Structure 1
């Protein structure tokens, strides 16, 4: 049987789901996933509620946690967190801070397309050294993807305000989230040569540079929609 989960669902589908994913009929979920334009009587959320739940928990309990996003969580707790998100629960979110942080990374990595769609991947890498160009590209993102990107960057700025306690630095965070926001398009398996590997390092540096801009610059004009 097809198991419904927010993990593996698209951002575009999740923003239209106001109830826990497991309560949605499979047919409706497929409809949301396949629709070019979603027909719905309700207004969508600005960002998926599941991303908000995880970030809100980390914001309240994890900003000062040493090695946040660097120390892995426990598989058993990740499963509990996934079930909590998919089924809905009045109970507090289960798991340690590290498990919640990893659940956020896994959720962002599980979407069919990354936050920055594949068709904008190359233009982001080409612009990575120029903040104004990067900013213009983000303004052109589909609305819900732009919301998620800016929301997460604002949260990461807050995380980095507590660098003295959590030990993180901007470069580390930019590198980690660069690989998630700008996930590589699927490639042929034969692309494992040393040249490809060295090329990958260059690409990863560009991804980190792209994200770095949004961690060190004030984004309030974005939030105000300028």
Structure 2
């Protein structure tokens, strides 16, 4: 096998060639990273650069974790050992559930690249618990350097891991797989993608073929507002998707370990969504997999044009860290009671169910905290842009309080009795 110094030299040559081809892009001013984490963060020295972000879920309920090479500072300014520890620290919060990695390669330079030796050690440290639930690794804007690394690592990569790798040449391709609007994409990566598309056909910028929007079907359930669903379903307060999945999961899923952490077969989820949107009956018994309705419930919430908690609440949730611990439940109650009546009823219905799930946590391993990690980003998100890693903490805290202190938070403002699951 080629000696390590030779590999390092080859990597250096490859990166220098790519930098020479991209001099104009290299001179562009990088965008500012997301809001920095609290200085007390155990990995503040690494986290402040915004290299790693958690961007909600993909289209099938799997957590999205983003690594942006353009955020890497020069190597002398970053301890790569700390970077590895921070990556593991982040993944440790999600590896018990199915997750997706998105790697933005653009911006890796000879000045900021980790060594090939470091990459080998990093792969060796990611044991089975990290690799088992990784469903896909999207490598965005791959270059000859990436393909060279792939050939170097091929002998030590497992066959299963190799099948999880997917090259993505243009950002538009991600729309087929991910909730693109909530994906954290650095401005440098966006500019680079525009440049690639502009030169794709001899300098002419290709038009992105987007089908014209069509009005939703009267039976539509996914991707339409709560109000639309209510109007088209004879005034039903709880959307049929929610009532049917919750009812089934209460009967079959409360004692399932890791419920809401697992994904389901993508084609099955598409088929179920289609049935709902066409107004056809769905029998979850046919799928013999309790994770199907669990994923459908999360997907329904994530596909709402406006989150259940509304856009207006996002900033209020972000301010939770500034509220004293003893006052947080009261503050949650105030925020929730300020919701429109319909949103309040739907949220109460969902939280009542999740509270019930948490009561079985000794068996299903889904405590209020674990449920918050899964559902938080599906209940509230900003009107524009994505959720940064630092913004996840107050969202998860808020959601955990809703689940754990359900009776206190929702106790006084009573919706109709028939909506309690």
Fold-level similarity (TM above 0.5) = yes
Corresponding position: 1:224 with 2:414: yes
5+ long unaligned stretches in structure 1: 19-41, 189-196
Count of residues paired in the alignment: 191
- Separation in 1, partners of 2:354, 2:401: 12
Corresponding position: 1:150 with 2:338: no
- Separation in 1, partners of 2:413, 2:267: 37
Query: What is the TM-score with the length of structure 1 in the denominator?
Result: 0.76
* Larger radius of gyration between Structure 1 and Structure 2: 2
1:150-169 residue pairs with structure 2 within 5 A? 150-169=348-367
- Separation in 1, partners of 2:296, 2:406: 27
Query: What is the TM-score with the length of structure 2 in the denominator?
Result: 0.42
Secondary structure of the 1:116 match is: coil
Pair 1:222–1:201, CA change in 2 (3 A): farther
Moved over 4 A (4+): none
Aligned to 1:55: 246
Tell me the CA shift for residue 83 of structure 1: 2.8
Pair 1:223–1:68, CA change in 2 (3 A): farther
Tell me the CA shift for residue 126 of structure 1: 1.2
Tell me the CA shift for residue 91 of structure 1: 6.0
Corresponding position: 1:213 with 2:401: yes
Instruction: Tell me, yes or no, if the aligned pair for 2:337 and 2:413 is still in contact at 8 Å.
Output: no
Instruction: Tell me, yes or no, if the aligned pair for 2:272 and 2:282 is still in contact at 8 Å.
Output: no
Aligned to 2:187: none
Aligned to 1:70: 261
Instruction: Tell me, yes or no, if the aligned pair for 1:81 and 1:100 is still in contact at 8 Å.
Output: no
Corresponding position: 1:108 with 2:301: yes
Q: Deviations over 1:166-196 (max 9, x none)?
A: 12222111122111111233228xxxxxxxx
Corresponding position: 1:87 with 2:278: yes
- Separation in 2, partners of 1:90, 1:99: 15
Instruction: Tell me, yes or no, if the aligned pair for 1:73 and 1:100 is still in contact at 8 Å.
Output: no
- Separation in 1, partners of 2:243, 2:279: 14
- Separation in 2, partners of 1:14, 1:212: 27
Tell me the CA shift for residue 117 of structure 1: 1.3
Aligned to 1:6: 221
Corresponding position: 1:204 with 2:402: no
Secondary structure of the 1:221 match is: coil
User: Would you tell me which structure has more helix in proportion to its own residues?
Assistant: 1
Instruction: Tell me, yes or no, if the aligned pair for 1:178 and 1:211 is still in contact at 8 Å.
Output: yes
5+ long unaligned stretches in structure 2: 1-212, 416-421
Corresponding position: 1:176 with 2:374: yes
Pair 1:122–1:165, CA change in 2 (3 A): same
Tell me the CA shift for residue 14 of structure 1: 0.7
Aligned to 1:17: 232
Tell me the CA shift for residue 125 of structure 1: 2.0
Secondary structure of the 2:237 match is: coil
Q: Deviations over 1:24-62 (max 9, x none)?
A: xxxxxxxxxxxxxxxxxx5x2222122111111111111
Pair 1:91–1:218, CA change in 2 (3 A): closer
